[in-house]
Amino acid sequence: MRNIAFLAGSLIVLVVGALLPHAVSNAYVFYAGFVALQYVVISTGWNILGGYAGYVNFGGGAFVGLGMYAAVFLFKAIGAPLAVQMLGAAIAGGVLGLGMGYLTLRIQGVFFSIATLALTIVLNTVIVNWSYVGGARGVTVLAPQPTLFPSIVSYVFFAMLVLAVVSVAIARWIEKSWIGRGLAALRADEQAAECSGTPTLRLKLFAATISGALIASAGAPYPYYASYVEPASAFGLAIALNALAMPLIGGTRSWIGPLIGALLLSSLEQAATVTIPTEVNLLIVGLVLIGFVVAAPDGLLGLFERKPAKVRAP
């Protein structure tokens, strides 16, 4: 019954999203929606490895940047449409996630997080020195006008909406399946899970691959919309910080937590952007994250979970 309700809700969201560009002409609505949905995909993808498996990944910005430049490469090389760019970015992100997982998932804790942070620096250095995709100067992408939508921004908004629905559906399926139960056991006690027969390494590699694919695919539509990409913004600190903060604020143990955190925090950031500088915005995100880690370590969902009653000693 819940699966039917989720499917019906997803179809309603997609239908409304397809009709909205023909009913609303304000471009800022679609820009704000695009940013919020992009972070829904990023936080959902991050949570598959960072929340379900418990491996905190600081390299979210690396995968988003990879997705942006994979889309740029496909557009320049073969003139690929947006759907092909998104698919290519997902494949590139999945391959990078698998490679990263194979090399780093045998280490745990802060050492794994440092290794993923270094990934951003490595990819940024590669892109800066790759002249075909613009190098340090950046690159301009002149996307063609869509036929079924009134503007490029509304078209990219709908593409990101489809991607967000698919990402949430994948995360929900993983959580409800034996894979999610295996990842939960791994997060609780990896050694005990391995001793009980859980294929911990395969599960971690699977989570790293799917996580990388989803996060990278979230970056692919950006060049199509913005028409310009440069390394400093593609691999920026704000992306990595939000990818970490949004699932932690919403709650990492369920598929709905990153969704709530992304919509809440991205809305607050959009409201704050018009009044305060970006640097102060990042400071606010950091302070909010610290507050939630201290006051609500299980996120917003943890505040509403029923806690077992304390048994008094006789």
Angle in degrees, 0-180, between the axes of helices 60-78 and 110-128, rounded to the nearest 10 = 30
What is the pLDDT tens value at each position of the chain, 314 positions in all? 788 889 999 999 999 999 998 888 888 889 889 999 999 999 999 999 999 998 888 889 999 999 999 999 999 999 899 999 999 999 999 999 999 888 887 776 677 888 888 888 999 999 999 999 988 898 988 888 888 888 888 999 999 999 999 999 999 999 999 999 999 998 888 888 888 888 888 999 999 999 999 999 999 999 988 889 999 888 988 888 888 888 988 888 889 989 998 998 888 877 766 666 566 666 777 777 777 767 776 778 777 765 544 445 44
Report pLDDT for 277.
Answer: 59
* Cα–Cα distance measured from residue 79 to residue 303, given in angstroms and rounded to the nearest whole number: 48
CA distances from 4 to 9, 11, 284 (A): 8, 11, 39
Angle formed at CA 41 by CA 136 and CA 12, multiple of 5 degrees: 135
- Kindly write down the DSSP assignment for every residue of 248-265, as one continuous string: HHH-SSSTHHHHHHHHHH
CA distances from 70 to 77, 221, 254, 275, 308 (A): 10, 10, 30, 33, 48
Report pLDDT for 48.
Answer: 95
CA distances from 104 to 95, 119, 165, 240, 302 (A): 14, 11, 30, 18, 30
* Cα–Cα distance measured from residue 238 to residue 114, given in angstroms and rounded to the nearest whole number: 17
* Cα–Cα distance measured from residue 139 to residue 296, given in angstroms and rounded to the nearest whole number: 42
Given a contact cutoff of 8 angstroms between Cβ atoms, the answer to whether 298 and 305 are in contact is: yes
292 Cβ neighbours under 8 A, 6+ residues apart: 248, 249, 299
Q: Where are the domains of the chain?
A: 28-298
Question: Options 2.60.40, 1.10.3470, 3.40.190, 1.10.357; which CATH number does 28-298 get?
Answer: 1.10.3470
- Kindly write down the DSSP assignment for every residue of 85-133, as one continuous string: HHHHHHHHHHHHHHHHHHHHTTS-THHHHHHHHHHHHHHHHHHHT-GGG
